[in-house]
């Protein structure tokens, strides 16, 4: 708790145009006493604080600079979350006070654990990380109190796995990640840990391959979402910037020696790029993009493949396949994209590509 008595005395005195001598005379003390109060070198006794509050026509709370803090559970949890975000070490003191006051509150215990984890990583302080683990273990039996749908038992175990990894307890981290690796959600973490050990590097490959495919698919969906957003709001400049960033990544995904489902997906993205370039007054660049869209569509439809191992770095022999809702063929996917664009100029340009084949 911060007391601002020295600053308050000085401020109130100056507001009334008083010198330190004049205030000392009013209170019946020495000038040196007032000087020490304002310099924070000493503190007036309580009767003098009461007398000053009365003299300055204010309350003792205001004179002290004390602001009543909301210490209810929800407000405290929000402050702990803020301290976690801004890496505020002062939050640890509040966390420990809150843990004493609300020892059986899930949200207080959980937020305190997350704060200790964040600051333990930030300061490379293993003691703080171990405290975070201790609090997460304490939070588990309190989980029934939780009302936040984004926090679950899995959330707690994965946080424990991450902290174990930071504490170089890789075996414990692997155990926890594997137990909660639903749909390959933590295959990247498992693969990364295994790949550090030369003796287990090959064991890492299936996990890394699975993670690669999962995250590449997620990136494609995310870019398509952003693209729809920008096109619906007619923000063609942002759409152009998005595609200029994403297409080099997407075109580098498939293995160059074979046809890949990414050829079909990239064909659609290049067609969208042609549309955006037309809308921004770049017809020649739009034609080049449409030509690439058509080339990729023809390439895919000549030998369609949805095998996952057509992606670079995916594990050879990967037997999984990929599905999409773009259309049965790349040509159909292009037609579906054109319907979505509903732009005669882009449709005409695409038809020219098809007629020139």
Residue-level pLDDT at 356: 80
Q: Is the pLDDT of residue 1 over 50?
A: no
Compute the distance between CA of residue 77 and CA of residue 74 in angstroms, rounded to an integer: 5
Binned at pLDDT 50, 70 and 90, residue 319 comes out as low
Compute the distance between CA of residue 132 and CA of residue 115 in angstroms, rounded to an integer: 8
The mean pLDDT value for 323-331 works out to 90
Do residue 83 and residue 58 come from a single domain?
no
The mean pLDDT value for 43-65 works out to 88
| Domain end marker among 131, 162, 180 | 180
Compute CA distances 108 → 82, 113, 253, 307, whole Å. 13, 8, 44, 48
Do residue 168 and residue 85 come from a single domain?
yes
Do residue 85 and residue 125 come from a single domain?
yes
Do residue 77 and residue 54 come from a single domain?
no
Q: Is the pLDDT of residue 2 over 70?
A: no
Q: Does residue 197 lie within any of the structural domains?
A: no
Residues contacting residue 46 through CB under 8 Å, at least 6 positions apart: none
| Burial of residue 52, with CB atoms counted within 10 A of its CB: 0-12 exposed, 13-18 middle, 19 or more buried | buried
Do residue 256 and residue 307 come from a single domain?
yes
Instruction: Please choose, from the candidates 349, 344, 352, 325, the residue with its C-alpha nearest in 3D space to the C-alpha of residue 264.
Output: 325
Helix (H/G/I), strand (E/B), else coil: 98 = helix
Residue-level pLDDT at 317: 63
Q: Does residue 192 lie within any of the structural domains?
A: no
Which tens digit of pLDDT belongs to each residue from 202-213?
A: 999 999 999 999
Domain hosting residue 242, numbered range: 207-356
Q: Does residue 201 lie within any of the structural domains?
A: no
Q: Does residue 340 lie within any of the structural domains?
A: yes
Q: Is the pLDDT of residue 357 over 50?
A: yes
Share of the chain above pLDDT 70, in %: 97
| Domain end marker among 135, 162, 180 | 180
Do residue 86 and residue 50 come from a single domain?
no
Q: Does residue 194 lie within any of the structural domains?
A: no
SS3 of the chain: helix, strand, coil, percent, to 5: 75, 0, 25
Do residue 51 and residue 87 come from a single domain?
no
Contact 125, 95 (CB under 8 A): no
Angle of helix 73-86 relative to helix 91-101, nearest 10 degrees?
150
For residue 218, the Cα-to-chain-centroid distance in whole angstroms is 16
List the single range of 1-5, 150-154, 238-242 with lowest mean pLDDT.
1-5
Q: Does residue 338 lie within any of the structural domains?
A: yes
Residue-level pLDDT at 274: 97
Q: What is the mean pLDDT of the chain?
A: 93
Domain count, the chain: 3
Which tens digit of pLDDT belongs to each residue from 282-311?
A: 999 999 999 999 999 999 999 999 999 899
Do residue 20 and residue 105 come from a single domain?
no
Do residue 261 and residue 228 come from a single domain?
yes
The mean pLDDT value for 28-39 works out to 92
Residue-level pLDDT at 303: 94
List the single range of 2-11, 39-48, 51-60 with lowest mean pLDDT.
2-11
Do residue 121 and residue 217 come from a single domain?
no
Q: Does residue 202 lie within any of the structural domains?
A: no
Q: Does residue 186 lie within any of the structural domains?
A: no
Residue with tokens 């993670």: 211
Do residue 213 and residue 251 come from a single domain?
yes
Which tens digit of pLDDT belongs to each residue from 56-115?
A: 888 888 888 766 567 799 999 999 999 999 999 999 999 999 999 999 999 999 999 999
Which CATH number covers residue 250? 1.25.40
Residue-level pLDDT at 68: 57
| Domain end marker among 42, 64, 86 | 64
The mean pLDDT value for 233-237 works out to 96
Which CATH number covers residue 77? 1.25.40.10
Do residue 351 and residue 211 come from a single domain?
yes
Which CATH number covers residue 38? 1.10.260.40
């Amino acid at each position: 708790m911060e007391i601002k008595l020295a600053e308050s005395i000085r401020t109130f005195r100056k507001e009334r145009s008083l010198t330190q001598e004049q205030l000392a005379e009013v209170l019946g003390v020495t000038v040196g006493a007032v000087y020490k109060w304002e310099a924070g070198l000493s503190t007036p006794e309580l009767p003098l604080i009461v007398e000053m509050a009365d003299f300055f026509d204010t309350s003792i709370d205001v004179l002290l600079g004390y602001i009543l803090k909301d210490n209810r559970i929800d407000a405290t949890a929000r402050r702990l979350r803020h301290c976690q975000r801004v890496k505020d070490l002062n939050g640890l003191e509040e966390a420990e006070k809150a843990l004493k006051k609300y020892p059986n509150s899930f949200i207080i215990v959980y937020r305190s654990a997350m704060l200790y984890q964040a600051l333990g990583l930030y300061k490379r302080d293993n003691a703080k990380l171990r405290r975070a683990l201790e609090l997460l273990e304490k939070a588990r039996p309190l989980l029934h109190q939780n009302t936040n749908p984004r926090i679950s038992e899995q959330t707690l175990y994965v946080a424990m796995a991450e902290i174990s990894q930071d504490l170089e307890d890789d075996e414990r981290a692997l155990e926890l990640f594997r137990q909660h690796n639903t749909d390959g959600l933590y295959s990247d973490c498992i693969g990364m840990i295994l790949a550090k050990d030369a003796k287990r590097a090959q064991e890492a490959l299936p996990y890394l391959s699975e993670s690669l495919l999962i995250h590449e698919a997620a990136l494609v969906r995310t870019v398509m979402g952003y693209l729809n957003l920008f096109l619906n709001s007619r923000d063609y400049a942002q759409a152009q910037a998005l595609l200029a960033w994403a297409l080099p990544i997407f075109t580098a995904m498939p293995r160059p020696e074979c046809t890949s489902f990414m050829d079909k997906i990239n064909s659609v993205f290049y067609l969208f790029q042609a549309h955006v370039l037309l809308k921004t007054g770049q017809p020649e660049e739009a034609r080049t993009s449409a030509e690439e869209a058509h080339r990729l569509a023809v390439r895919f439809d000549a030998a369609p493949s949805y095998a996952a191992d057509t992606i670079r770095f995916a594990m050879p022999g990967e037997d999984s396949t990929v599905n999409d809702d773009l259309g049965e063929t790349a040509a159909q996917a292009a037609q579906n994209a054109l319907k979505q664009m509903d732009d005669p100029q882009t449709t005409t340009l695409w038809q020219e590509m098809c007629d020139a084949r």
